[in-house]
C-alpha cells in the first residue's frame, strides 16, 4: 500500500520536474513546479512528517508560486523563442554533474541497508519543531526574523520613491508621475494653469517633456 | 482484508459528506436568492416546486444543457484546468472537520468517530488547501485572454494573498488556547463547562478578524472586487459558460460553506451543544444526532450572515480594501495574539 503510494507520488514528482524544464511556456513551467511541490508534500506525509507537508503546501505552493504566477501573468511573458543556445562548456559540465548525481545515488543505495529496527522519530511533528525552534535554535530563529524584517523595509523603501516629488509635479496620462523640473529644467511653463489636451503625447508636448523611451528606440 | 475494508469505508464516508455538502450548497444558492428578494422587497424564484424548492435542480439542468463556448485565443489546457482546481480545492477541506462526537452503535458495539479523516495538523491542511484555491481564479483570469478577466484574476490574487495573512494570524488565538492544530482536539477542548466552553468567549477579537478576513477570502460582498460586475463585466469568469461557469459558481458557495464550518469548529464549539451531554449521555445515537444538528444550525447561521451582509453592504474600493486589510485587520490580529498570550500567561488554566 505504502509502496504503491510512494511510486505514484514519486513518479508524479519526477514527471512534473521534467515538465518544468521541458516546457516552453513559462506558465506551464510554473504549474508543473506546483505539481512537484504537491507531490513532495504527499511524500513528506508518508514519512510521518505532517507539519512539514502542510508547511510545504502553504509556503511554496500557496505563497511563493502564487507570486511567480502573478509576475508571469503581469509581464505577460510569451512562449520562449526557439533559439540556438551556445552549448560550449555546458555539455561537459552537465555530464560531470549528472555523473556526480548518479554516483551519489548509487553510493546511498549501496551503503544503506534496509534496517529492520526503525525507530519512530518525532522530527516532523508540530510539537518537536516548535520546542526546538524556541529553545535550542532560538538565536538563529530570531536572526532570521530580523533578516525578513529588513527585507520588508527594503522593499518598502524601494517602492515608495515617488513620495519625494516636489509639489509642482505633473501627471501625464499613461505615464509615470514625474516633476516637470525633473525632466526638463529649461521648460518654463507655469505650473498653476491646468493643461488641456486629448492625448498623453499632446500633453507631453505642451509641457515640453521628452519621452526618453521613445528617443532611445529611434 | 481489513485495510481494504477501511479504504472502502472511507470512500463511502467521503461520498456521503460530499453529497450532503453539495445539497446544502445548492439550497444555499436558493436561500440566498429568496433572502435577497426579501431584503430588496421582491419575491425571488418561487415557481419551480413548492416555494421554489426544485429551483437548484432546474438551474443545474440549465447549466448542463447550455452551449459550452471556448474563446478562440484562450490557453486551452489552463482554461480547462482552472475551474477544476477551484472546485477541487474548495471540496478537499471538507474531510477534516469533525461533525459529531464519537458514537457507539447499538447491538454491534462499534465506536465510530464522526469525522472522515483524523489529521494531526488538520488546521494547517485546511489553510494549505484553501491557499491553493487562488490558482483557480488567477489562472482562469489569465487563460481567458480577456482584459476584464485578467483584471479580475489579478485583483483576486492580490486580495487573497493580503487577507490570508490576517486570516492565518486570527487563527493563532484558538490554536494557542487549545494547544493543538488538530481540529478534533480543538472541538473536544470546547466541551468543557457542559459543552459551553466555546472559544469565542475567550478570543472574541480573533473571531471578528477571522469573520472579516474569511469574507474577503471567499470573494463575497463587500469584498467582491474580483467579479465586480459594474466594473469588470463578471471578472475572472467572464469567458466561462455552461458547466465550467457552474463549477466556479459551486466553488464560491462551497468556500462559503467551508469558511462557516471552520468558524463553527474553532469559535462556536463545533458540534458542542450546551447541556446535550448531560441529557442524552455520551456516545448515544441521540446525542450524536443532536450534536450534528447543532453543528449544522451553527453553519447555517453563518451562511445566513453572509447573505445578510451581501444584501446590506456596498462594495469596497480597491485601495480601501488594501488599506483595511494591511493597516487595520493585520495589526488587530497581532494585537489579539498579544492579548491571548498575556491571558494564558496569567491564567494558565484557561488553555489546555
Where a domain ends, among A25, A57, A78? A78
**B interface residues, A as partner, C-beta within 8 Å:** 3, 75, 77-78, 81, 119-121, 124-125, 127-129, 131-132, 134-135, 138-139, 141-142, 150, 153-154, 157-158, 161, 164, 181
Q: Residues B296-324: what's their mean pLDDT?
A: 87
Which H or E run includes B156? helix B147-178
Nearest CA in chain A to B138: A70
In sequence order, which residues have a C-beta less than 8 Å from that of residue B313 and are 6 or more positions away? B221, B222
Q: Do A63 and B135 touch (CB under 8 A)?
A: no
Contacts of A144 (CB under 8 A, 6+ apart): none
Residue B134 within any structural domain of the chain: yes
**Residue B34, in any domain of the structure:** no
C-alpha cell at A5: 503510494
The answer to whether position A153 is within a domain reads no
Q: Which of A78, A110, A144 is the last residue of a domain?
A: A78
Higher pLDDT, A188 or B161: B161
Does any domain span residue A26? yes
Residue B218 pLDDT greater than 60, yes or no:
yes
pLDDT tens digits for B91-126?
888 888 888 887 777 777 677 777 787 878 888 888
Cβ A49 vs Cβ B121: under 8 Å? no
| Candidates B132, B157, B158; nearest CB to A57 | B132
Cell of A31: 504549474
The residue behind cell 493563532 is B172
Q: What share of chain A is helix, strand, coil (3-state, %, to 5)?
A: 65, 0, 35
Which tens digits make up the pLDDT trace of B39-48? 888 888 888 8
- Residue A178, classed as helix, strand or coil, is strand
pLDDT value at residue A120: 66
**Phi, psi of A169, deg, nearest 5:** -70, 150
As a whole number of angstroms, the distance between CA B79 and CA B82 comes to 6
Residue range B262-281, pLDDT digits in tens: 999 888 888 888 887 777 77
Asked if A62's CB is within 8 angstroms of B131's CB, the reply is yes
For residue B143, the distance in angstroms to the closest alpha carbon of chain A comes to 9
Question: Is the CB of B121 less than 8 angstroms away from the CB of A66?
Answer: no
Establish if A124 belongs to a structural domain: no
Burial class (CB in 10 A: 0-12, 13-18, 19+), A73: buried
Contacts of B322 in chain A (CB under 8 A): none
Number of domains in chain B: 1
Region B320-325: mean pLDDT is 84
Nearest CA in chain A to B136: A66
| Strand spans (E) along chain A | 169-170, 178-179
DSSP letters, B250-265, are HHHHHHHHHHHHHHHH
CATH number at residue A59: 1.20.120.1200
Element (H, E) at B171: helix B147-178
Q: Which helix (H) or strand (E) holds B112?
A: strand B111-112
- 8 Å CB contact between B146 and B310: no
Percent above pLDDT 70 for chain A = 64
Asked whether the bond before B222 is cis by omega within 30 degrees of 0, the reply is: yes
State pTM to two decimals. 0.79
Instruction: Report CB contact under 8 Å: A73, B124.
Output: no
pLDDT at B192 over 90: no
Q: Which of A45, A78, A111 is the last residue of a domain?
A: A78
Angle between helices A65-75 and A26-46 (to 10 degrees): 170
Confidence at residue B117, expressed as pLDDT on a 0 to 100 scale:
79
- Give chain B's length: 352
CB B79 within 8 A of CB B70: yes
C-alpha cell at A54: 502542510
Domain that residue A25 falls in: 1-78
Q: Quick check: is A152 in a domain?
A: no
Residue with cell 486589510: B325
Do the chains contact at B3 and A50, CB–CB below 8 Å?
no
- Within-domain flag for B35: no
Asked if the structure places residue A177 within a domain, the reply is yes
The length of chain A, given as a count of residues: 218
Residue B245's domain spans which residues? 62-350
Q: Cell for A139?
A: 538565536
Of A54, A70, A125, nearest to B125 by CB-CB distance is A54
Question: Is residue A185 included in any domain, yes or no?
Answer: yes
Closest CA in chain B for residue A56: B128
Does residue A197 form part of some domain? yes
Better-predicted residue by pLDDT, B237 or B252: B252
How many domains does one find in chain A? 2
Contact B150 A62 (CB under 8 A): no
For B105, phi then psi, to 5°, come to: -70, 135
Residues B214 and B252 sit within 8 Å (Cβ to Cβ): no
Residues forming beta bridges with residue B103, ordered by sequence position: B112
Task: Give the distance, in angstroms, between the CA of residue B217 and the centroid of all CA atoms in the same chain.
Answer: 9
Q: Which residues of chain A have pLDDT under 70?
A: 76-86, 113-121, 124, 161-200, 203-204, 206-218
Residue B22 lies in a domain: no
* A17 neighbors A29 (Cβ within 8 angstroms): no
Query: Does residue A112 fall inside a structural domain?
Result: no
CB contact under 8 A, B128 and A66: no
> Which three-class secondary structure state does DSSP give residue A170?
strand
Region B127-132 average pLDDT: 86
The reply to whether B32 falls in a domain is no
Residues facing B298 on adjacent strands: none
Nearest-neighbour CA in chain B from A43: distance (Å): 15
Answer whether B121 sits within 8 Å of A126, measured CB to CB. Answer: yes
B177's grid cell? 488556547
- Chain A positions contacting chain B at CB under 8 Å are 1, 25, 27-28, 31, 34, 41, 50-51, 53-55, 57-58, 61-63, 66-67, 69-70, 73-74, 125-126
Amino acid at each position: 500500500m505504502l509502496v504503491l503510494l510512494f511510486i505514484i507520488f514519486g513518479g508524479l514528482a519526477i514527471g512534473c520536474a521534467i515538465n518544468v524544464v521541458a516546457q516552453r511556456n513559462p506558465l506551464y513551467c510554473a504549474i508543473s513546479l506546483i505539481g512537484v511541490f504537491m507531490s513532495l508534500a504527499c511524500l513528506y506525509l508518508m514519512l510521518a512528517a505532517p507539519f512539514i507537508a502542510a508547511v510545504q503546501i502553504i509556503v511554496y505552493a500557496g505563497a511563493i508560486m502564487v507570486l511567480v504566477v502573478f509576475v508571469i501573468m503581469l509581464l505577460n511573458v510569451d512562449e520562449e523563442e526557439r533559439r540556438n543556445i551556445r552549448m560550449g562548456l555546458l555539455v561537459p559540465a552537465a555530464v560531470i554533474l549528472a555523473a556526480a548525481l548518479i554516483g551519489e545515488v548509487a553510493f546511498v543505495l549501496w551503503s544503506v541497508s534496509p534496517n529492520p529496527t526503525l525507530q519512530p522519530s518525532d522530527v516532523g511533528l508540530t510539537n518537536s519543531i516548535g520546542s526546538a525552534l524556541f529553545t535550542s535554535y532560538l538565536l538563529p530563529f530570531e536572526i532570521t526574523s530580523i533578516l525578513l524584517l529588513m527585507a520588508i523595509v527594503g522593499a518598502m523603501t524601494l517602492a515608495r520613491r515617488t513620495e519625494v516629488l516636489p509639489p509642482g509635479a505633473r501627471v501625464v496620462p499613461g505615464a509615470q508621475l514625474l516633476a516637470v523640473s525633473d525632466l526638463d529644467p529649461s521648460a518654463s511653463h507655469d505650473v498653476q494653469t491646468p493643461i488641456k489636451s486629448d492625448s498623453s503625447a499632446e500633453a507631453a508636448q505642451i509641457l515640453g517633456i521628452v519621452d526618453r523611451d521613445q528617443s532611445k528606440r529611434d | 482484508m481489513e485495510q481494504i475494508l477501511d479504504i472502502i469505508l472511507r470512500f463511502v464516508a467521503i461520498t456521503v459528506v460530499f453529497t450532503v455538502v453539495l445539497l446544502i450548497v445548492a439550497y444555499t444558492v436558493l436561500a440566498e436568492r429568496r433572502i435577497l428578494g426579501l431584503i430588496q422587497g421582491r419575491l425571488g424564484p418561487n415557481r419551480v416546486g413548492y416555494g421554489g424548492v426544485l429551483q437548484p435542480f432546474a438551474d443545474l439542468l440549465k447549466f448542463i444543457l447550455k452551449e459550452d463556448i471556448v474563446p478562440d485565443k484562450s490557453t486551452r489546457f489552463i482554461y480547462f484546468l482552472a475551474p477544476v482546481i477551484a472546485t477541487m480545492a474548495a471540496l478537499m477541506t471538507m474531510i477534516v472537520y469533525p461533525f459529531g462526537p464519537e458514537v457507539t452503535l447499538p447491538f454491534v458495539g462499534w465506536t465510530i468517530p464522526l469525522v472522515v479523516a483524523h489529521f494531526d495538523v488538520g488546521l494547517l491542511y485546511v489553510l494549505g488547501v484553501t491557499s491553493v484555491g487562488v490558482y483557480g481564479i488567477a489562472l482562469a483570469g489569465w487563460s481567458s485572454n480577456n482584459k476584464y478577466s485578467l483584471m479580475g484574476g489579478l485583483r483576486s490574487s492580490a486580495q487573497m494573498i493580503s487577507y490570508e495573512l490576517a486570516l492565518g494570524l486570527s487563527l493563532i488565538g484558538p490554536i494557542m488556547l487549545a494547544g493543538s492544530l488538530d481540529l478534533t482536539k480543538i472541538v473536544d477542548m470546547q466541551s468543557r463547562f457542559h459543552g459551553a466552553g466555546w472559544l469565542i468567549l475567550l478570543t472574541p477579537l480573533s473571531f471578528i478578524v477571522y469573520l472579516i478576513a474569511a469574507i474577503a477570502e471567499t470573494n463575497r460582498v463587500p469584498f467582491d472586487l474580483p467579479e465586480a460586475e459594474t466594473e469588470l463585466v463578471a471578472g475572472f469568469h467572464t469567458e466561462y459558460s455552461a458547466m465550467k461557469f457552474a463549477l466556479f459558481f459551486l466553488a464560491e458557495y462551497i468556500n462559503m460553506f467551508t469558511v462557516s464550518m471552520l468558524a463553527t469548529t474553532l469559535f462556536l464549539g463545533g458540534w458542542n451543544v450546551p447541556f446535550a451531554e448531560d441529557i442524552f449521555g455520551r456516545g448515544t445515537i441521540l446525542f450524536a444526532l443532536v450534536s450534528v444538528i447543532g453543528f449544522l444550525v451553527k453553519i447555517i447561521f453563518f451562511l445566513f450572515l453572509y447573505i445578510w451582509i451581501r444584501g446590506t453592504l456596498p462594495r469596497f474600493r480597491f485601495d480601501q480594501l488594501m488599506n483595511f486589510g494591511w493597516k487595520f485587520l493585520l495589526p488587530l490580529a497581532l494585537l489579539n495574539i498579544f492579548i491571548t498570550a498575556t491571558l494564558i500567561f496569567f491564567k494558565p488554566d484557561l488553555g489546555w
